[in-house]
């Protein structure tokens, strides 16, 4: 069967999850988000965009958002990362889509990990890249809107 390889990432039912050794095990929801990630791709004329890298592993990701009336109406990501990065980024986009900018700014890596039902300890840092990319894309959006109406100051502008 073509999907047989997905089974190798699933936690064996007869033994507890291990966090050592060459192969890490993930719960079914994480495997689903890894094998069928949500909101993958790029947006035409995004309102905010960010590319973020994790220096600890060299992985990278891009997030783009479309904003209408201060709500994230669309979001896409491309990940050059591990299964943990892909699954957590997929969940991050599912959580961010439809949220107001103010609500989305409060999303944390813990929210993503909890929504996925947990990830192996060694993979916890992977969720940070998705959330950091989202926040950077929001900052990019805020920077652009401050140029048009002058009402919002970006982090860069307020710290200079
Ligand atoms: Fe780099 Fe997961 S190991 S993001």
CA of 31 to the centre of ligand 1 (A): 15
Q: What is the pTM of this model?
A: 0.80
Query: Which of 43, 57, 82, 115 is flagged as catalytic?
Result: 57
**CB-based contact 34:18 (threshold 8 Å):** no
> Could you give the CA distance from residue 100 to residue 94 in angstroms, rounded to a whole number?
13
CA of 82 to the centre of ligand 1 (A): 5
Assess if residue 83 is contained within a domain: yes
Is the minimum distance from the CB of 75 to ligand 1 under 6 angstroms?
no
**pLDDT above 70 (res 112):** yes
Assess if residue 2 is contained within a domain: no
Distances (CA, A) of 58 to 61, 108, 147: 10, 21, 33
Assess if residue 5 is contained within a domain: no
Assess if residue 17 is contained within a domain: no
For position 146, what pLDDT does the model report? 82
For position 157, what pLDDT does the model report? 41
Assess if residue 21 is contained within a domain: no
Is the minimum distance from the CB of 24 to ligand 1 under 6 angstroms?
no
Mean pLDDT of 100-115: 95
Is the minimum distance from the CB of 87 to ligand 1 under 6 angstroms?
no
Assess if residue 68 is contained within a domain: yes
For position 17, what pLDDT does the model report? 52
End-to-end CA distance of the chain: 57
Residue 40's contacts (CB-CB under 8 Å, 6 or more residues apart) are 76, 77, 78, 90
The domain total for the chain is 1
- 57 assigned to active site: yes
**CB-based contact 92:107 (threshold 8 Å):** yes
> Could you give the CA distance from residue 5 to residue 115 in angstroms, rounded to a whole number?
24
**CB-based contact 113:155 (threshold 8 Å):** no
Its domain, for residue 88, covers 26-142
Assess if residue 89 is contained within a domain: yes
- 126 assigned to active site: yes
The residue whose C-alpha atom lies closest to atom 4 belonging to ligand 1 is 126
Q: What is the CATH number of the domain that holds 115?
A: 3.90.1010.10
Assess if residue 148 is contained within a domain: no
For position 133, what pLDDT does the model report? 96
Mean pLDDT of 48-63: 92
């Amino acid at each position: 069967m073509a999907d047989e390889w997905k089974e190798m990432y699933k936690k064996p039912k007869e033994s507890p999850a291990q966090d050592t050794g060459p192969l890490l095990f993930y719960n079914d929801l994480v495997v689903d988000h890894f094998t069928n990630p949500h909101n993958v791709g790029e947006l035409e004329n995004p309102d905010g965009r960010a590319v973020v890298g994790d220096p600890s592993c060299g992985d990278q990701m891009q997030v783009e958002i479309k904003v209408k009336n201060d709500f994230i109406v669309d979001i896409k990501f491309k990940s050059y990362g591990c299964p943990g990065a892909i699954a957590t980024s997929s969940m991050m986009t599912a959580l961010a889509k439809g949220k107001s900018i103010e609500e989305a700014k409060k999303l944390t890596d813990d929210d993503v990990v909890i929504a996925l039902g947990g990830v192996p300890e060694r993979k916890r840092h992977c969720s940070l890249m998705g959330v950091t990319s989202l926040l950077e894309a929001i900052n990019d959006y805020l920077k652009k809107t401050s140029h048009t109406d002058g009402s919002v100051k970006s982090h860069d502008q307020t710290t200079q």
